[in-house]
Amino acid sequence: MRSYRRQDVARGLAWLAGFSAATLLVVPKGLSVFAILMLAATLAVLPDLWRSGRTIPRAWYALLAAALIVVAITAISTWTAGAGWTALDNPSRALLLPWCAWLAWTTGVRMSSLWYGALAGLLIAFAISIVQVWLGVERAGGDANPIVFANAVLTLLVVAVFCRPPGRGLLMPLLLVGVIVLANVAVILSGSRGALLGLGLVVLMLLVGGATQYRWRRLSIAGGVLATLFVALWTVPWLSTQFRLDQLHADVSGYALGQVDKPISARLALLSVAWDAFRESPLTGIGIDAFEARVDASVYCRGAERHFCGLGHAHNDLAQWGATMGVAGIIGLLALYLLPLVVATRQIRTGRTGEAAGAPWAAGMLVAIYMVSGLTQSMFSHALSTSAYVVLVGLLLGIGMRNE
């Protein structure tokens, strides 16, 4: 009897942990609540797990391998470059990926914890963005910068859309429209252009993914919706100004003249700095924390004080990991993306659900969203983005392991 009670307590704590992770994602220090609940759930479930002798699914070892590869590569880079061990703060969070998966698998926590949490989190993000704009903030971002905030909103949208419970009535479509509107408002008020591709991918997969019935009709509808949104971004003056689309041509043209203090031109210059760093040391890179110094030493910063010279990462995951850790870093990044994606794909094929919904779908979409967002942002250079990825993907894949 005591064993069953302990399992119920562990499952309840794990449910609250998942709920808090999504609900408080955009709240300052919100993930600290998740950390406390996760640790408590782990301590509650360990005694019975040791006695049960249950076999951990093989898929879990793939997630463990991804985490260990990242930690090993970044630790070696930190040691060889003589960097401070604080450089391991974000990379070491990869260990949460197998830990969260193990906790979700062993407690049998329900996916509803993340779904309800994502709904609450989107409401909070929407409220934060509205209040900040009302107070005169140019770009909403909560306590983070606007780009990180928009990526967090996009992460919550993926969970809210693809972790939805089955429902054939009118309520669920209306709810999905509601959460998409909340997310779009928050992203628009953040002014983050990098999140637009992710938003389009979510809408596309929601309408097209899963069942093959009426796929071409769904694809036509999705294409029409995305085309309408694209036209609106370019033709509605307020939207075009908010996303600075009216500055794109001048921004790109300015780069040819050496101007690198605008978003697009700065990213092009950062890619140039990253490529030069990679060519200098392709196997090991220039060091995990050396990119900011390389930016300061670049031709763009010689004899000039400008905003560009204060940038500390390449605004592109592949460029950042390749420049600082070389080929080894690229391998680590691919492991962090592809191993969870392989596990999610296998779970989707095993489940054979009739629609694009469920924990494996949500996990796979999160990986895809991070890969797309990583084209314009160094996702794993920020604590919030890193934690959101390893925690949510880990929990979702752990839930999926229960059905294998």
Nearest to 18 by CA among 159, 183, 123, 162: 159
Nearest to 83 by CA among 286, 288, 283: 288
Q: Evaluate the CA torsion angle 58, 60, 61, 65 in order and state its sign.
A: positive
Q: How many CB atoms lie within 10 A of CB 82?
A: 9
Rg (the chain; Cα; Å): 22
Q: How far is CA 235 from the centre of its chain?
A: 30
pLDDT at 314: 87
pTM: 0.90
Beta strands in 55-169 (DSSP E): none
CA distance 34 to 20: 6
**Counting runs of H as helices and runs of E as strands, what totals does the chain give?**
16, 0
pLDDT at 1: 42
pLDDT at 213: 55
pLDDT at 389: 97
Nearest to 18 by CA among 400, 402, 396: 396
CA distance 149 to 18: 19
| DSSP string across 255-288 | HHTT---SHHHHHHHHHHHHHHHHHHSTTT-S-T
> Which stretches in the chain have pLDDT values below 70?
1-4, 48-53, 167-169, 209-258, 260-261, 303-306, 352-356, 404
CA distance 312 to 319: 13
What's at 228, amino acid-wise?
A: T
For 210, the 3-state DSSP assignment is strand
Domain boundaries, the chain: 1-50
Q: What is the DSSP letter of 27?
A: S
* pLDDT, tens only, 30-55: 899 999 999 999 998 887 666 666 78
* pLDDT, tens only, 231-247: 655 565 555 555 555 55
pLDDT at 245: 56
pLDDT at 51: 60
